Structure 1
Amino acid sequence: MSRRSDRDLIDVLLATQEEAIRAAFMEAIADTVNTVVLKIVVERLERGDIEGALQALQLDAAAFSKLELRLADAYNSGGMATVGSMPKVRDPQGGRVVFRFGVRNPEAEAWLREHSSALVTAILDDQRVAIRLALSEGLAEGQNPRATALNVVGRVNRVTGRREGGIIGITSAQERYVAYARQELMSGDAAQLRAYLGRERRDKRFDRTILAAIKSGKPLDAETITRIIGRYSDRLLELRGEFLARTETMMALSKGRDDAIRQQIAAGKIRVEDVTKIWRSAGDNRVRHTHRVLDGQKVPMDGSFQSPSGAMLRFPCDPRAPISEISGCRCVVSYDIDYFASVVERFKAEAA
């Protein structure tokens, strides 16, 4: 691979890796909702057995196996692209220094295993919180058990044969958005209906219907509300997939790139003191304030960038950093490496 700027390198990798991770997440959610046996969920809700209904949804880590594989692909591609973009370097006797990335490196495999496991566990734990709350509120409000179950798992699209409009896959915070949006639409109150029209992720194709209800003073019918909320929920799921894919792809790429440099250091091909890290923001008005401040800052290879928030980041999307510093981050780190100094010192050491 020819040498590229770090931004170009990341953009090329993102073009394929981010979409693969997003698709794997969405596939895991689709697999989960489309294998639900609705009858069992409804029967357990009729008995007031919320935990039993939750268990019947069979939220399973195995459904996310492809997501874990795609994370590994992104990590490996980051590492391999990094060494692939390194210049041709020769020692004083003319021998070539070969840079390689070991995808089966024990430390790399350990990180991938631990990170992907923690990610899937966090997704499932948050799902249980959201679903448990939705089921509990549905029953507490006297809602029909079947309707409550359908609000969670979604309704079958007669054209595609797949379930749509449920809350499985969205975060617990997003589930609250759905619950409040449903209340707004069911209220029949003009002010609350207008509040719904302020929701950024709504399907605007329904705006005319809502405006007509406001003008007429007549409430929306249950079927229309179900359709509107279903599309709103689907759009939140799309947003969830996009943000998860961007964050996790950038994290895997950044970690892979960092580990690739460290593998060269461990192999004695580069000296740690000859590597400087430089923070590069995306350079637009969407960059969070703390990262605009970091733009252009330099630290040693073993150093960390200190955010104005106090957080320490080894590189953008550092998995050790708070979610507020990594979610949706598009920054990259450049590695300024004095290859000549490293090669000369290595040659001297070998000659001695």
Structure 2
Amino acid sequence: MSDTALLARWDKLMVSVEQPYARAILREKNRYIDAAAASFPRHQRLTDEDLYEHTNKMLALAEHYQRIAIRIGIVEALKDQKAALPTLERKEGWDALWFYLLRRWIAERGAQAAKETAATTRADLQRIIDKAHALDVEFNPVQVAADLLKAKALSAFRAMTIARTETHNAMMFASQEGAAKAGRDNGVTMLKRWVPVQDERTRANHAAMSGHPAIPMEAMFTVGGEKMERPGDWRASAANVVHCRCVLAYKVDENQ
């Protein structure tokens, strides 16, 4: 499969998850903003109860949609391996791998990302409250509550950014792990290659990965001076991860 076809296939798969995920995030962010605005005149502060509920709902959304993303990543990795190695056989343990990767992803990244999203929304609301306190006028809780609702204007863009980035990150994580398992199952050594999208939106450091030789599965790419295991490696800086659409391609190590 050509790199162009590979990128198009992955993009279609990512969109199929990220769009409903973004809508779900947007609904939950706006529900929290509504709840915070409704309770503010009575408490005159953001309550821990509202934040706790919002955080738990964000955690549930992350687990639901990343479960789907990781399943797709594993399945597609197997397809890529089959293209690289037509004699490849699917062995036992793929369902177990799916559950293991989901638990690992949520523990290492998904829960953290959901909590960060909830905390960011709360911080947006707190800034509105702090600004109202700083004004040289009488503090009006009812007006502040109305102003809190304006935070909804920030939600749509952020929801899509979160959904797009986290879907991509989870799929690339599962793709690499799935490809590694397929190689182990069939007694071959697989190599991975970074395939960047080539258009005007691609950051220069990622575009420069075009033509980069394939490397061992456990090795790290150097992307703009930063070590990354794969596209969407959440341990890298936001500048190398947010809105990334690069993917991995695999090949058999002919020198094994």
Name the TM tier (shorter chain): 0.7 to 0.9
SS in structure 2 at match of 1:97: coil
CA apart distance, 1:30: 3.2
Contact persistence 2:36–2:47 (CA under 8 A): no
The answer for the alignment partner of 1:75 in structure 2 is: 70
| Secondary structure of the corresponding residue to residue 336 of structure 1 | strand
Contact 1:139 1:148 in 2 (8 A): no
Residue number in structure 1 paired with 2:216? 300
Give yes or no for the alignment of 1:18 onto 2:18. Answer: yes
Kept in 2: contact 1:6–1:333 (CA 8 A): no
* 1:240 aligned residue: 158
| TM-aligned CA deviation for residue 66 of structure 1 | 2.5
1:34–1:99: structure 2 CA closer, same or farther, 3 Å change rule?
farther
Could you tell me the TM-score, scaled by structure 2's length? Answer: 0.84
SS in 2 for 1:287: coil
What CA distance in whole angstroms lies between the structure 2 residues aligned with 1:124 and 1:11?
A: 27
Determine whether 1:253 maps to 2:171. yes
User: What is the CA distance between 1:36 and its match in structure 2?
Assistant: 4.6
**Pair 1:100–1:314, CA change in 2 (3 A):** farther
**CA distance, structure 2, for counterparts of residue 318 and residue 16 of structure 1:** 21
Identity of aligned pairs, percent? 17
Letter aligned with residue 68 of structure 1: E
Q: CA deviation at 1:18?
A: 1.4
* Aligned length in residues: 244
Letter in 2 for 1:300: P
Match of 1:332 among 242, 247, 254: 247
Aligned to 1:198: none
Of 84, 106, 119 in structure 2, the residue corresponding to residue 113 of structure 1 is 106
Runs (5+) with no aligned partner, structure 2: none
Q: In structure 2, how many angstroms separate the alpha carbons of the residues matched to 1:131 and 1:36?
A: 8
Give the counterpart letter for 1:243 in structure 2.
Answer: T
State which of 146, 149, 157 in structure 2 corresponds to 1:150. Answer: 146
Structure of greater Rg = 1
Looking at structure 2, the residues matched to 14 and 258 of structure 1 have their Cα atoms a distance apart, in angstroms, of 16
Q: For 1:335, what is the secondary structure of its paired residue? A: strand
Residues 125, 146 of structure 1: CA spacing in aligned structure 2 closer, same or farther, 3 A cutoff? same
Letter in 1 for 2:43: R
User: Which whole-Å CA distance do the structure 2 matches of 1:20 and 1:101 have between them?
Assistant: 29
- CA drift at 1:276: 2.0
Partner of 2:128: 134
Aligned to 1:269: 186
Whole-angstrom distance in 1 between the partners of 2:132 and 2:65: 36
Cα deviations across residues 22-55 of structure 1 (Å, max 9, x unaligned)?
12211221332344572x311222xxxx3xx343
Q: TM-score, normalised by structure 1?
A: 0.62
Report the CA distance shift for 1:270/1:30 in structure 2 as closer, same or farther (over 3 A): farther
1:289 matched residue in structure 2: 204
Give the letter for the 1:13 counterpart.
L
For residues 244 and 103 of structure 2, the distance between their equivalents in structure 1, rounded to whole angstroms, comes to 24
Q: Of Structure 1 and Structure 2, which has the larger fraction of its residues in helix?
A: 2
Q: CA deviation at 1:314?
A: 1.2
